[in-house]
Structure formats: C-alpha cells, structure tokens
Structure 1
C-alpha cells in the first residue's frame, strides 16, 4: 500500500507545483579578508605544500605547510602571518 504522503508529493511534482523558497540561516562566516595571499607567500618561502590556512580574529592567518624532508618524513610547520 502506498503512503498518502508519497502520492501527494508525486501528484504535486507532476502538476508543476513548486514549494515556496525557505530562507535558511547561512552557515558561512564572513571575514574582513582571506588568507590566500598569505598562504601563497608561505608556500613560496618554504617550498612546502599547503595543508591549511585559517583567518584569525586579530587579522592574521594561521598557515600550515608540509616541508619535504631528505628522504624522510616531511616536516609540518605552522606560522602566523598578517593577512
């Protein structure tokens, strides 16, 4: 036996009915700037591979890179730089 809800949903879809738009709160936090330039500079300076770049509330970026080792494990380095 089919559910009445499924039947109503199918009928509404076939009729071209479109539900009203729902205004959901945004999960995106805006900041004054981004860390892309700071991260690029750290990668260029260290020759490492970017792991992460996070903005902080004080206008800086926390950038983490992996720096290749000499045949061993890479070294993980985290630096705080201005945005």
Structure 2
C-alpha cells in the first residue's frame, strides 16, 4: 500500500507544484523519560544497536541492545543504568 505522503508528493510534482521538503534525521531514537543519555552510553559502551530504553520508577533505565556476533546471531543484552 502506498503512503499518502508519497502519493501527494507525486501528484504535486505532476501538477507543477514544488513538493514540500521534509527534514528527517537519518536515525531517530525515541525513548521515554530521560533515558536518552543512558541509552547512548550503553550503545557506545557495547557497540550494539538500541532496541529499547524504558524508565523505571526507581530512577533507572532498562536499556536493551543487540550486540553483533562473530558470524552468528546477535546477542540481546539488557542493562539497568541510572538516568
């Protein structure tokens, strides 16, 4: 199924109107609370790929990353870190 945004952009281009430019970052990481910094630290420390980051009621973040394996499946690691 085609995206309505793609269809609107194509229609605008065909009608002679310039399409709207949308600035989209190459990598968007959405996390709840203040877990952004904690998630960034875990990703930098492990070299993994962020799967999720969730705040807990005790002021910590549960951060889950996938760490690439040596030719095998990546390893899923979950860490609790302070915010």
TM-score normalised to structure 1 length: 0.61
Structure 1's unaligned 5+ residue stretches are 1-30
Structure with the greater alpha carbon radius of gyration: 1
Match of residue 40 from structure 1? 40
TM-score normalised to structure 2 length: 0.61
Deviation at 1:79, TM superposition (A): 0.3
How many residues are paired up? 52
Structure 2's unaligned 5+ residue stretches are 1-31
Instruction: Determine the C-alpha separation between the residues in 2 that align with 1:79 and 1:43.
Output: 11
Match of residue 12 from structure 2? none
* Structure 2 SS opposite 1:38: helix
Instruction: Determine the C-alpha separation between the residues in 2 that align with 1:78 and 1:69.
Output: 16
Deviation at 1:34, TM superposition (A): 1.1
